[in-house]
């Protein structure tokens, strides 16, 4: 009996140590071609370019606004990044935002500036609304987000890695409309990239795996009545609802009506270009 107890105590202590080690071991990896950099939270927090930012537009809104952060461009200094490169920000939750080089590393003081916020394990951030974990350990935040119209999906959190891709078109050819597709389809595609592709793949490509593919096996424009599809994108839970649904709606401020019409034109166009990977 005593032996069992002692064993149990040891097992518990060991589990706690292992858990602590895991919690302390969160790392961020940057991959650019054959170059690779890995940083721990403590390594990043002890850098001289860390500053404290006050950000009111994050996922926490005004509930929590102070972040220790590093200009994102600093982390990529010295890596060779082609001009046409896009940077894929991969979360531990399947979220995968793709941001253009100029947008992410821009230094124009009149534009939005991207920073990597780092959670200090000694001072954990609050849990996300309705969740049991925080946005940490690494979270991409923007100063002055209105200046460059930063969309809600351009604030990836729980980041595990950044991958520099030479250019989006050669890596994900099947999400692109043809060069001679109508202008509204091209515009809708850009809206899809900005607002949807972090969670949804198209023809199996694009990286996001939070929600279903939006063309395979069937495109939603085939099984949603047109008005219901608009309504779903604006407010998913007004069409159907269950406790664990995770897609949030896009208001007319996020995607104005004409842009939403373009986005649906793109979805409809892709229905005619279903291309199994
Ligand atoms: C934060 C992640 C996320 C983003 C961003 C997102 N979705 Fe979703 N979407 C989901 C998830 C997850 C589901 C499955 C339902 C659920 O759990 O909410 C879904 C479901 C859907 C469905 C229903 C598919 C089906 O057959 O049930 C459609 C259509 C859809 N999304 C379109 C879009 C469009 C268009 C955009 C961009 C404007 C978008 N989504 C942005 C996560 C997301």
* Long-range contacts, 80-85 (Cβ 8 Å, 24+): 80/32, 80/33, 80/35, 81/32, 81/105, 81/164, 82/166, 82/167, 84/166, 84/167, 85/164, 85/165, 85/166, 85/167
Q: What is the token pair recorded at 146?
A: 């209105």
Q: Is 70 exceeded by the pLDDT of residue 14?
A: no
State in Å: Cα 183 to ligand 1 middle. Answer: 24
What's the pLDDT at 4?
53
Q: What is the token pair recorded at 124?
A: 């954990």
Contact 43, 87 (CB under 8 A): no
- 154-212 pLDDT, tens digit per residue, is 999 999 999 999 988 999 999 999 999 999 999 999 999 999 999 999 999 998 999 99
What's the pLDDT at 107?
85
List the end-to-end C-alpha distance of the chain, in Å, as a whole number: 59
CA distance 145 to 168: 23
Contact 155, 114 (CB under 8 A): no
Band the pLDDT of 24: cuts 50, 70, 90.
low
What residue's CA is closest to ligand 1, atom 16? 245
Mean pLDDT value across the chain: 91
* Phi and psi torsions of 199, nearest 5°: -115, -25
What count of Cα atoms within 13 Å lies in the side-chain half-sphere of residue 196? 22
Contact 235, 229 (CB under 8 A): no
- 72-116 pLDDT, tens digit per residue, is 999 999 999 999 999 999 999 999 999 999 999 988 989 999 999
Which among 199, 211, 253, 59 has a CA at the least distance from the CA of 140? 59
What residue's CA is closest to ligand 1, atom 36? 196
CA distance 211 to 256: 22
| 210 CA: nearest ligand 1 atom | 12
State in Å: Cα 43 to ligand 1 middle. Answer: 36
Q: List ligand 1's pocket residues with C-beta within 6 A.
A: 153, 195-196, 198-200, 210-212, 214, 220, 232-233, 236, 245-247, 250
State in Å: Cα 260 to ligand 1 middle. Answer: 14
- 28-62 pLDDT, tens digit per residue, is 999 999 999 999 999 999 999 999 999 999 999 99
- 62-83 pLDDT, tens digit per residue, is 999 999 999 999 999 999 999 9
Residue with tokens 């500036």: 113
Residue to mutate (ligand 1; options 94, 96, 199, 264; most atoms within 8 A of CB): 199
Task: Please state, in angstroms and as integers, the Cα–Cα distance from residue 13 to each residue in 7, 22, 23, 24, 219, following that order.
Answer: 10, 14, 15, 16, 51
CA distance 179 to 203: 17
State in Å: Cα 244 to ligand 1 middle. Answer: 13
What's the pLDDT at 17?
47
């Amino acid at each position: 009996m005593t032996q069992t107890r002692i064993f149990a105590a040891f097992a518990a202590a060991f589990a706690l140590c292992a858990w602590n080690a895991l919690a302390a071991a969160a790392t961020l990896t940057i991959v650019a071609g054959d170059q690779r950099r890995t940083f721990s939270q403590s390594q990043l927090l002890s850098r001289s370019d860390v500053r404290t930012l006050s950000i009111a537009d994050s996922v926490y809104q005004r509930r929590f606004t102070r972040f220790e952060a590093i200009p994102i461009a600093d982390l990529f200094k010295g890596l060779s990044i082609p001009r046409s490169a896009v940077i894929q920000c991969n979360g531990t939750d399947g979220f995968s935002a793709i941001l253009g080089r100029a947008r992410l590393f821009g230094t124009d003081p009149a534009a939005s500036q991207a920073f990597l916020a780092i959670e200090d394990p000694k001072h954990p951030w609050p849990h996300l609304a309705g969740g049991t974990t925080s946005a940490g350990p690494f979270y991409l935040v923007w100063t002055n987000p209105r200046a460059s119209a930063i969309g809600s999906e351009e604030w990836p959190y729980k980041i595990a890695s950044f991958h520099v891709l030479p250019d989006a078109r050669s890596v994900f050819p099947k999400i692109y409309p043809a060069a001679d597709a109508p202008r509204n389809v091209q515009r809708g595609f850009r809206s899809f990239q900005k607002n949807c592709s972090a969670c949804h793949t198209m023809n199996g490509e694009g990286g996001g795996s939070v929600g279903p593919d939006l063309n395979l096996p069937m495109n939603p424009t085939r099984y949603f009545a047109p008005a219901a599809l608009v309504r779903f994108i604006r407010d998913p839970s007004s069409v159907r609802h269950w406790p664990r649904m995770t897609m949030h709606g896009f208001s007319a401020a996020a995607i104005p009506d004409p842009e939403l019409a373009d986005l649906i034109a793109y979805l409809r166009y892709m229905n005619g270009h279903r291309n199994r990977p």
